[in-house]
Amino acid sequence: MTATTTAQRERILLSTPDVGPLEERAVADAVRSGWVAPLGPFVDAFEERVAERCGRRHAVALSSGTAALHLALLEVGAGPGSVVVVPTLTFAATANAAVYTGAEPVFVDCDAGSGNLDPELLEQALATLRRNGERVAAVVPVDLLGRCADYERLLPVCERYGVPVVSDAAESLGARRGSRPAGAHGLAAAVSFNGNKIMTTSGGGMLLTDDAALAQRARYLSTQARQPAVHYEHTEVGYNYRLSNVLAALGLAQLSRLDEMIARRRRLRERYAALVDAVPGVRVFQRAGDDADNCWLTAVLVDPAEAGWSAEDLRAALDADDIESRPLWKPMHQQPVFAGARSFLDGTSDRLFATGLTLPSGSALTDDQVDAVEGSLRGFLGRHR
Ligand SMILES: *Cc1c(COP(=O)(O)O)cnc(C)c1O
């Protein structure tokens, strides 16, 4: 046997960082420049480029997308005694950011086709909260798996109730909704450059807004709320949330490859669709109208009654072939940490969680790895016909 046939194949993961020589050079350049701090020319340039890409006037580079959400929520006055409306189908960071401010997260269910915040349920939630005389500090729509939320319908609802929108665009950088890019919706938006996202700075995020005062205050709060005095004067409590100049250099390199990385993820989705489209009871999630999405993660939805097998059966089969797949985000209203939280539900997120499975979607997957996933999936489908 040759070395290649006996070599252990590495486990194939859902979404790993797609970095190479360009990123390596960028990081080395930043280190050599001497700006190894949470400020510097790469931070400024990165903010400018992301603002431009997202159609925003201002961008503040931060240590994470969660930090961006936290600061945006503080800016709109979220705090003890207020409520922040969050979709239940999201990553915990969206709800956690609300809790950091002292506000109470209230969860709202999603639309079945996109998995994004349902405008009608949102309206019901806001009407109920208003009747109760509660102060709603913000609504935080999430662009699930890289599909922008339905802002054309969500924004007018929020406007009618006088509630500001903070868009959680952590998963959707590079996507569009109508003529507007992800990150351009609402009073402010948060993007993420975590290691598993469409592009990465290993860890990082950005707050985007057209409001100069909001951006300036976020910048101030993110640097320990330091007053402009040589002796470090502080009149309020701040945070250490700025992004390192070294990581901003990495981000600039990644941003120059964003479109290429999106195209690769889209091709992967198309291959999955070609495999499952003819399988009864199985379809690719968010497939309708996905040309404006960034295809961050591709998931399939499995109706076990029709397919004769479940998403969990497929997950176990892929796992046996050393291929990672995962259910969609477990809804927040099902999470022990948010037990007892108020929710406006219609069963959609529960159903998506029970039937959805995210497949390896990373742009760094090699052709061999993609072939291996496809082979495993094809084998499973063949055995379950
Ligand atoms: C990743 C993610 C975040 C948090 O971003 P970090 O940079 O990891 O802090 C927030 N919301 C959603 C929906 C995410 O997927």
Is residue 90 lining ligand 1, measured as CB closer than 6 Å?
yes
Give the model's pLDDT for residue 228: 87
Question: Ligand 1: which of 148, 168, 206, 330 to mutate, most ligand atoms within 8 Å of CB?
Answer: 168
Enumerate the CATH 3.40.640.10 domain ranges in the chain, comma separated.
Answer: 21-256
Ligand 1 mutation target, pool 60, 88, 91, most atoms within 8 A of CB:
91
Token couple for 169: 């665009």
* Rounded percentage of the chain residues whose pLDDT exceeds 90: 95
Ligand 1 center–CA 374 separation, angstroms: 28
Ligand 1 atom closest to the CA of 203, numbered from 1: 7
Half-sphere exposure of 213 (CA within 13 A, CB side): 2
First to last CA, the chain: 34
Q: Is the pLDDT of residue 122 over 50?
A: yes
| pLDDT tens per residue across span 45-67 | 999 999 999 999 999 999 999 99
Cβ–Cβ under 8 Å, residues 362 and 14? yes
Q: Report residue 9's pLDDT band, with 50, 70 and 90 as the boundaries.
A: confident
Q: Are 136 and 82 in contact (CB under 8 A)?
A: yes
pLDDT the model gives residue 178: 87
Report, as an integer, the average pLDDT of 208-218.
Answer: 98
* Alpha carbon distance 242, 103 (integer Å): 23
CA 44 to mean position of chain CA atoms: 23
Which class for 153: exposed (0-12), middle (13-18), buried (19 or more C-beta within 10 A)?
Answer: middle
Query: Does 168 sit in the ligand 1 pocket, CB within 6 Å?
Result: yes
Which residues belong to CATH 3.90.1150.10 in the chain? 258-331+346-383
Average pLDDT, the chain: 96
pLDDT for 1 equals 42
Burial class, 312, CB count within 10 angstroms (exposed 0-12 / middle 13-18 / buried 19+): middle
Strands of 356-359's sheet in order across: 282-284, 298-302, 356-359
166 is written with which tokens? Answer: 């903070």
pLDDT, average across residues 88-92: 98
Say if residue 297's pLDDT is above 50. yes
Nearest partner of 108 among 81, 142, 60, judged by Cα:
142
Q: What is the model's pTM?
A: 0.97
Does the pLDDT of residue 197 top 70, yes or no? yes
Find the 171 Cα to ligand 1 centroid distance in Å.
7
Given a cut of 60, is residue 224 above it in pLDDT? yes
CA 160 to CA 126: how far, in whole Å? Answer: 10
- pLDDT tens sequence across 326-385: 999 999 999 999 999 999 999 999 999 999 999 999 999 999 999 999 999 999 999 998
What topology is assigned to 258-331+346-383 in CATH?
Aspartate Aminotransferase, domain 1 (3.90.1150)
Residue 20 φ/ψ, nearest 5 degrees: -150, -150
Could you tell me which of 284, 263, 264 has the C-alpha nearest to residue 359?
284
Burial class (CB in 10 A: 0-12, 13-18, 19+), 279: middle
What pLDDT does 323 receive?
98
Q: Exposure string (b/e) for 323-333, b if CB count within 10 Å is 16 or more?
A: bbbbbbbbbbb
**Which token pair is 210?**
């057209």
- DSSP letter at 300 equals E
Q: What is the pLDDT of residue 385?
A: 85
- Unique residue bearing structure tokens 């405008």: 119
Confidence band, pLDDT 50/70/90 cuts, at residue 317:
very high
The structure tokens listed for 265 are: 């993820």
Asked whether 194 lines ligand 1 (CB < 6 A), one says yes
Flag whether pLDDT at 33 surpasses 90. yes
> Which pLDDT band holds residue 3 (cuts at 50, 70, 90)?
very low
User: Rounded to whole angstroms, how far apart are CA atoms 115 and 24?
Assistant: 36
State which fold the 21-256 domain adopts.
Aspartate Aminotransferase; domain 2 (3.40.640)
pLDDT interval class at 7 (50, 70, 90)? low
Q: What is the pLDDT of residue 18?
A: 97
